[in-house]
Amino acid sequence: MTARSPLTAAFRGLYSLRALATKPVYWFYERRLRRKVRVGGKLPQHLGLILDGNRRFARAAGVQREIGYEFGIDKAHEVLQWCLELDIPAVTIWVLSTDNVARDPEEVAHLMKLFDREARNLATDPRIHGNRVRVRAIGQHDSFPAHVLNALKELEEATASYDGMLLNIAVGYGGREEIVDAVKVYLEQQAQAGATLEQAAQALRPDDISARTYTAGTPEVDFIIRTSGEIRMSGFMLWQSVYSEFYFCDVYWPGFRWVDFLRALRDFQGRRRRFGK
């Protein structure tokens, strides 16, 4: 595992002290809200999380962007624990888009190191194995370094037989690219079966695309949370989110709290889903 810098550790300590100071204010409210969520109705069967605001969190705190990413990783582990506690069956977290890959090369290289480190950490995480969490990396990974590809492959193989929560890590992911890839697979399979292009086009149905998306076999995402205050989807799960409920939270991802998560879930439970009817 790659060691975190002393500056990161020091900032984490100061941030933890601040969180500890405000904890009594929220403790009673969180406890009541958690009880309401547990008895308040159906929870999402497939939760989507757009982890936005790591760099802005760092900038607002006056620290390096790398520290923002470290805090974002810590938060992802924390939210995974929350989802396990609430028995949410499937979770997809978006950690890197296809557009993000075009960022500053030094930043992308740093992110690749983090993906390598965290994939290897998850592969040995007792929570993953104890809860039989199946982990999949979804997206386009052709441009990833070999060590990152190996780490992601080893993580998937280590959890492939598990039947607990399904955790999709969307890395190098874009919703448009996913749909294009699904259509390509469909057309290739039709050609292999001897169909002409005209026949393949006439036979194409929405279910044919659904069966070839990166998340094929998983219930369509029913609730999507985006942090950082941005009110847009940016291409996240375009095909699977046709009937999704959305929740936009003003807090940056590293500052996302248990109480924020519970509020989002209570909001979801209070909605009436009509599915176009």
pLDDT tens column, 120-164:
999 999 999 999 999 999 999 999 999 999 999 999 999 999 999
pLDDT tens track for 17-74: 555 555 566 677 788 888 889 887 899 999 999 999 999 999 999 999 999 999 999 9
Which of 93, 168, 94, 85 has the alpha carbon at shortest distance from 131?
A: 85
Does position 1 have pLDDT exceeding 50, yes or no? no
What pTM was computed for the model?
0.89
The enclosing H or E element of 20 equals helix 6-39
- pLDDT band of residue 6 (cuts 50, 70, 90) is low
Q: What is the pLDDT of residue 18?
A: 56
Catalytic residue positions? 52, 100
The HSE-up count of residue 72 (CA atoms within 13 Å, CB side) is 28
> What distance in Å separates the CA atoms of residue 133 and residue 169, rounded to the nearest whole number?
12
Q: What is the pLDDT of residue 2?
A: 44
Q: What is the pLDDT of residue 41?
A: 82
Query: Taking CA 112 as the corner, what is the angle to CA 109 and CA 113, rounded to the nearest 5 degrees?
Result: 90
Q: What percent of the chain has pLDDT over 70?
A: 91
Which of 38, 34, 110 has the alpha carbon at shortest distance from 68?
A: 110
| Amino acid present at 237 | M
Q: What is the pLDDT of residue 274?
A: 82
> Strand order in 134-138's β-sheet?
134-138, 166-173, 90-97, 46-50, 223-226, 245-248
